[in-house]
Amino acid sequence: MHLLVTGGAGFIGHHLINALYQRYPGVQITCIDNFDPFYDLAIKERNIQPFLDQPGFRLLRVDLGRTSGAELQSLIPEPIDAILHLAAKAGVRPSIENPAAYQQANVVGTQNLLEFAVSKNIHHFVFASSSSVYGINDHFPWKEDEELIPISPYASTKLEGEKLGRHFSEQHNIRFIALRFFTVYGPGQRPDLAIHKFTKAILNGDPLTVYGDGSTSRDYTFVGDIVNGILAALEYKGSEYEIINLGNHYSIPLIELIQAIEKAVGKKAVLQYGPEQPGDVPKTYAEISKAKLLLGYDPKTSLDNGLRAFVDWYLSKN
Question: What value does the CA radius of gyration of the chain take, rounded to a whole number of Å?
Answer: 19
Q: What is the pLDDT of residue 215?
A: 85
Mean pLDDT of all residues belonging to the chain: 95
**CA neighbours closer than 13 Å in the CB half-sphere of residue 210:** 19
Q: What is the pLDDT of residue 137?
A: 87
Strand duo 82-85 + 2-6: pairing:
parallel
Average pLDDT (278-300) is: 93
Asked if the structure places residue 192 within a domain, the reply is: no
Q: Of 154, 285, 297, 314, which residue is the catalytic one?
A: 154
- How far apart are alpha carbons 145 and 151 in whole angstroms? 18
Is 198 in contact with 269 (CB distance < 8 Å)?
A: yes
Helix (H, G, I), strand (E, B) or coil at 46: helix
| Nearest-10 Cα torsion for 202, 203, 206, 208 | -20
Give yes or no for residue 318 having a pLDDT over 90: no
Q: Measured between alpha carbons, how far is residue 118 from residues 73, 112, 124, 292 in Å? A: 10, 10, 11, 30
Residue 24 lies in a domain: yes
- Tell whether 174 is covered by a domain: yes
* pLDDT at 229 (0 to 100): 98
Please tell me the total count of domains within the chain: 1
Instruction: Name the percent of the chain lying above pLDDT 70.
Output: 100
Q: Is 154 a catalytic residue?
A: yes
Does a structural domain hold residue 53?
yes
Does residue 317 surpass a pLDDT of 90?
no
What's the average model confidence in pLDDT over 269-291?
Answer: 89
Task: Please say whether the beta carbons of 127 and 85 come within 8 A.
Answer: yes
Domain encompassing residue 105: 2-186+221-248+288-300
Residue 38 pLDDT: 82
- Judged by phi (left if over 0) then psi (alpha if -120 to 50, else beta), residue 231 lies in alpha
The proportion of the chain whose per-residue pLDDT surpasses 90, expressed as a percent, equals: 90
Give a yes or no: residue 56 inside a domain: yes
pLDDT in tens, 122-131: 999 999 999 9
Q: What is the mean pLDDT of residues 83-96?
A: 94
Q: How far is CA 313 from CA 36, 185, 188, 237, in A?
A: 23, 12, 7, 36
Which has the closest alpha carbon to 279: 149, 109, 104, 145? Answer: 149
Residue 52 domain-assigned (yes or no): yes
Which residues pair with residue 84 across a beta bridge?
A: 5, 126
21-35, 114-128, 188-202, 270-284, range with the lowest pLDDT: 270-284
Cis? peptide before 141, omega within 30° of 0: yes
28 domain-assigned: yes
pLDDT, tens digit (0-9, with 9 covering 90-100), for 235-259: 999 999 999 999 999 999 999 999 9
Main-chain dihedrals φ then ψ at residue 41, nearest 5 degrees: -65, -25
The secondary element (H helix, E strand) that includes residue 181 is strand 175-181
Instruction: Give per-residue pLDDT as tens, 26-67.
Output: 999 999 999 998 888 999 999 999 999 999 999 999 999 999
**Does any domain span residue 276?**
no
**pLDDT tens-digit profile of 202-220?**
999 999 988 888 889 999 9
Dist. CA 181–CA 221, nearest whole Å: 8
pLDDT in tens, 135-187: 988 889 999 999 999 999 999 999 999 999 999 999 999 999 999 999 999 99
CATH code of residue 131: 3.40.50.720
Single-letter residue type at 221: T
* Of 84, 117, 116, 87, the residue nearest 102 (C-alpha): 87
